[in-house]
Amino acid sequence: LRMRKSSKRSSAKSNDAISVQVDWPVNILGLNSGTSADGLDAALVEFKLGQPPRVMLYHTFEYPSKIKKKILALGEPDYNDGRGWLEFDMELGRLMGEMARRIINRAARSGLEVDFLASHGQTVRHLPEGRRFPLSLQIGDPWQIAGITGKPVVANFRRSDLAAGGQGAPLSPILHERLFRHRSLWRAVVNIGGIANVTVLPPLKSRRKPLAGDCGPGNMIIDDAVNRLFNKRYDRNGEIARSGRPDRILVNRIMRRKYFSLRPPKSTGREQFGRKFVSEIISAIGRASKQDIIATLTEITIRAIVGFLDRFAGEVDEVYLCGGGANNDYIVQGLRERLPGTIITTTTSHGYHHDYVEALLWAYLGYCFVTRTPVGSSSFTGSRKKTIPGMLCLP
């Protein structure tokens, strides 16, 4: 990747005087830090002109509990300490930089070079219904990452969409459409992260537009309760949920909330489905066992996905799962039971490991940035137009 000052003054847009030059193939290290705040996912992706992206290497760095706690505290809706945000922005950026450096060194030992990085950062506020504008804030300073790794970093992928009137989320449908749309089958890609989002991909030949949105909470309500009640980070393979019984009456009541029936585009975050939501469920459930609480919260995640598909897609032929929630067998089994006519697999069976689709997304948006490819869609985020995602931070 080279920055070149153009000598051609004939260019219609004079502020295009600085251009980015790319040598093919280009290797981009995508860094993802999702709302679960579980860790940093890194995927090194090779892009060759006219070919699908290829993931060369991947790794997740789990965050130390201190860091995870801090992220969750900063994400609480009543946290409003500007200085605290600014300081942690730097601290997290440095930590991400150190982690990225380790993966870059590992890649080098396998003979792989990283051309540049693409970092999403950590969302600490997502307010699509902001008072005046949709708002979304990611921290983990990309200039720190650039400084530590000595590589250019493309970051701040949501801003151009926000400026175009979009909610800045979800962006993963851009990649889902690119990788998984089929000629004659209806597919849905369901990313179960802290928040879960669904991309409905009509067959190419139908000429219908894909549709996407955050369907509701994913793992983060389960993680929160498992942490409070069992002092664990998450419900490994859904074992705790499986040993409990969901309170279906309570789940039905929750499913009547306005968010679930809102038409896409829509996105959500900890503001709606954070600590307060989990506390409400725990107190509403009364005398149930701790396992029942986890089963109930997991059921909410399952029902939010199924409800989104029922309402906005009808029956689809295939569902591809990704995100950490695809490892939760209880969720996968619940989806299979409720979507009997649908084949449910993970993206791993289709060439892209389900734990790294989001990291691959940022790498892909980094690729769109350097190739000046506008992305987005009013049916995903509600933006008025496509935009070029990201901005460039030089070391």
Ligand X SMILES: Nc1ncnc2c1ncn2[C@@H]1O[C@H](COP(=O)(O)OP(=O)(O)O)[C@@H](O)[C@H]1O
Query: By the criterion CB under 6 A, which residues form the site for ligand X?
Result: 34-36, 38, 193-194, 219, 222-223, 234-238, 323-325, 327-328, 358
Nearer Cβ to ligand X, position 237 or 342?
A: 237
Q: Which of 226, 299, 160, 217 is nearest to 35 (CA)?
A: 217
Q: How far is the CB of 243 from ligand X (least distance, A)?
A: 14
How, if at all, do strands 318-322 and 211-217 pair?
unpaired
* Nearest residue (CB) to Mg ion, 38 versus 141: 38
Of 36, 191, 199, 327, the residue at the interface with Mg ion (CB under 5 A) is: 36
The entry of ligand X, Mg ion, none that residue 223 binds, CB within 5 to 8 Å by partner kind: ligand X
Q: Is 38 in the site for Mg ion (CB under 5 A)?
A: yes
User: Which among 311, 307, 301, 309 has a CA at the least distance from the CA of 342?
Assistant: 309
**Rounded least distance, CB 179 to ligand X, Å:** 17
Q: Least CB distance from residue 68 to ligand X, whole Å?
A: 9
Closest CB to ligand X among 188 and 222? 222
Taking the complex as a whole, the smallest distance from the CB of residue 325 to ligand X amounts, in Å, to: 5
Question: Is the peptide bond between 203 and the residue preceding it cis, with omega within 30 degrees of 0?
Answer: no
Cβ-based neighbour number of residue 384 at 10 Å: 12
Interface segment toward Mg ion; rule CB under 5 A; list 38-46, 145-153, 222-230, 359-367: 38-46
User: How many CB atoms within 10 Å of residue 94?
Assistant: 16
Distance from C-alpha of 112 to C-alpha of 98, rounded to nearest angstrom: 18
Q: Which region among 28-36, 217-225, 281-289, 349-357 touches Mg ion (by CB under 5 A)?
A: 28-36
Instruction: Please say which residue, 32 or 164, places its beta carbon nearer to ligand X.
Output: 32
Name the binder of 75 from Mg ion, ligand X, none, CB < 5-8 A by kind: none
State how far the Cα of 283 lies from the Cα of 166, in Å rounded to an integer.
Answer: 36
Single out the segment in contact with Mg ion by CB under 5 A; choices: 33-41, 115-123, 164-172, 309-317: 33-41
Q: Which residue has tokens 């649908």?
A: 342
Interface with Mg ion, residue 268, by CB under 5 A: no
CA 145 to chain centre: 20
Question: Rule CB under 5 A: which of 316-345 touch Mg ion?
Answer: none
**Amino acid making up residue 322:** C
Concatenated DSSP letters of 222-277:
HHHHHHHHH--SS-GGGHHHHTS---HHHHHHHHTSHHHHSPSS----HHHHSHHH
Binding site for Mg ion (CB under 5 A): 34, 36, 38
